[in-house]
Amino acid sequence: MNRTSRLAIDVGGTFTDVVELNPETGVLRFDKVPTTPDEPTRGVMNAFGLAEAPVPEIGMFTHGTTLGLNALLTRTGARTAVIGTKGFRDVYLLGRTDRRTNYDITYRKPPALLERYDTFEVAERSLFDGSVHTPIDLDDARRVAEIVAERGYQSVAVAFLHSYANPAHELKMREVLAEVAPDVAVTLSHELSREYREYERTSTAVLDAYVKPIVRRYLHALEGELAGGGFGGRFLMTRSGGGAMTATAAREQPVSLILSGPAGGVIGAAALSRALGTPNLITIDMGGTSLDASLILDHEPVLYQGAEFEGLPINTPSLYIHTIGAGGGSIAWLDEAGALQVGPQSAGAAPGPASYGRGGTAPTFTDAALAIGYLGAETPLGGKLTLDADLAAKALQPIADRLCMTVQALARGVVRISNMKIMGAVRAITVELGRDPKDFALLSFGGGGGLVAVEVARELGIPTVIVPPGQGAFSAFGMLMADVQHDYARTAVTPLDALDPAAADAAYREMEAEAEARLAEEGFGPEGRTLTRTLDVRYAGQEHSVTVAFPADPAAMAEAVSASFAELHERQYGHTMDDPIEITTLRLRATGSVDKPELPRIAARPAGEGPQAEGARPVYLSQDEPEVPYALYTREALLAGDEVAGPAVIAEHTATTVIHAGDTLRVGQYGELVISVHDRTEEVTK
Return the pLDDT at 188: 98
More confident residue, 531 or 258: 531
552, 533 Cβ separation under 8 angstroms: no
Please report which confidence band the pLDDT of residue 462 belongs to, taking 50, 70 and 90 as the band edges.
very high
Show me where the domains of the chain are located: 5-71+216-257, 77-211, 484-592
Which stretch of DSSP H or E encloses residue 222? Answer: helix 198-228
Nearest to 489 by CA among 530, 551, 545, 533: 533
Q: What Cα–Cα distance (Å) separates residue 589 from each residue in 499, 500, 511, 586, 595?
A: 21, 21, 9, 10, 19
Instruction: Give yes or no for residue 16 having a pLDDT over 90.
Output: no
Average pLDDT over every residue of 16-39: 84
What is the rounded CA–CA span in Å between residue 670 and residue 665? 14
Give the Cα-Cα-Cα angle 629, 631, 637 (nearest 5 degrees).
Answer: 165
581, 536 Cβ separation under 8 angstroms: no
Give the Cα-Cα-Cα angle 585, 588, 589 (nearest 5 degrees).
Answer: 135
CATH 2.40.240 assigned to 5-71+216-257: no
Please spell the DSSP secondary structure of 276-310, one letter per residue: HT---EEEEEE-SS-EEEEEEETTEE-EEEEEEET
Tens-digit pLDDT profile for residues 389-419: 999 999 999 999 999 999 999 999 999 999 9
Return the pLDDT at 74: 79
Is residue 512 packed enough to be buried (19+ CB in 10 Å), middle (13-18) or exposed (0-12)?
A: middle
Average pLDDT over every residue of 499-516: 93
Please report which confidence band the pLDDT of residue 93 belongs to, taking 50, 70 and 90 as the band edges.
very high
Sign for the pseudo-dihedral over CA of 653, 654, 659, 664: negative
Please report which confidence band the pLDDT of residue 383 belongs to, taking 50, 70 and 90 as the band edges.
low
Please report which confidence band the pLDDT of residue 32 belongs to, taking 50, 70 and 90 as the band edges.
confident
Instruction: Give yes or no for residue 50 having a pLDDT over 90.
Output: no
User: Which amino acid, one-letter code, is at 138?
Assistant: L
Instruction: Give yes or no for residue 91 having a pLDDT over 70.
Output: yes
Q: Is the peptide bond before 135 cis (omega within 30 degrees of 0)?
A: no
Please report which confidence band the pLDDT of residue 370 belongs to, taking 50, 70 and 90 as the band edges.
very high
Measure CA 674 to chain center: 24
Please spell the DSSP secondary structure of 311-328, one letter per residue: TEEEEEEEE-EEEES-ST
Tens-digit pLDDT profile for residues 636-680: 999 999 999 989 999 998 899 999 999 999 999 999 999 999 987
CATH 2.60.120 assigned to 77-211: no
Instruction: Give yes or no for residue 3 having a pLDDT over 70.
Output: no
How would you classify residue 6: left for phi > 0, otherwise alpha for psi between -120 and 50, otherwise beta? beta
**Contact residues for 150 (Cβ-Cβ < 8 A; gap 6+):** none
Nearest to 150 by CA among 79, 207, 77: 79
Return the pLDDT at 683: 58
Tell me the pLDDT of the chain averaged across its residues: 90
Average pLDDT over every residue of 324-343: 90
Neighbours of 613 (CB within 10 A): 15
Lowest model confidence (mean pLDDT) among 178-182, 291-295, 421-425, 433-437:
433-437
Pairing of strands 291-297, 300-301: antiparallel
What is the rounded CA–CA span in Å between residue 14 and residue 351? 10
What is the rounded CA–CA span in Å between residue 233 and residue 247? 12
What is the rounded CA–CA span in Å between residue 32 and residue 174? 43
Tens-digit pLDDT profile for residues 157-202: 999 999 999 999 999 999 999 999 999 999 999 999 999 889 999 9
Sign for the pseudo-dihedral over CA of 37, 38, 40, 45: negative
Please report which confidence band the pLDDT of residue 382 belongs to, taking 50, 70 and 90 as the band edges.
low
Instruction: Give yes or no for residue 443 having a pLDDT over 70.
Output: yes
Tens-digit pLDDT profile for residues 202-227: 999 999 999 999 999 999 999 999 99
Return the pLDDT at 412: 96
What are the helix (H) ranges across 383-473?
389-402, 407-429, 449-460
More confident residue, 159 or 385: 159
Average pLDDT over every residue of 415-431: 94
User: Which amino acid, one-letter code, is at 13?
Assistant: G
**Quick check: helix, strand or coil at residue 29?**
strand
Return the pLDDT at 572: 74
Please report which confidence band the pLDDT of residue 583 belongs to, taking 50, 70 and 90 as the band edges.
very high
Return the pLDDT at 573: 76
CATH class of the region 484-592: alpha beta
What are the helix (H) ranges across 481-556?
501-521
Neighbours of 24 (CB within 10 A): 9
272, 443 Cβ separation under 8 angstroms: yes
Q: What Cα–Cα distance (Å) separates residue 564 from each residue in 269, 333, 572?
A: 26, 49, 12
Q: What is the DSSP letter of 357?
A: -
Return the pLDDT at 666: 97
**Contact residues for 113 (Cβ-Cβ < 8 A; gap 6+):** 72, 75, 77, 80, 206, 207, 210, 312
40, 65 Cβ separation under 8 angstroms: yes
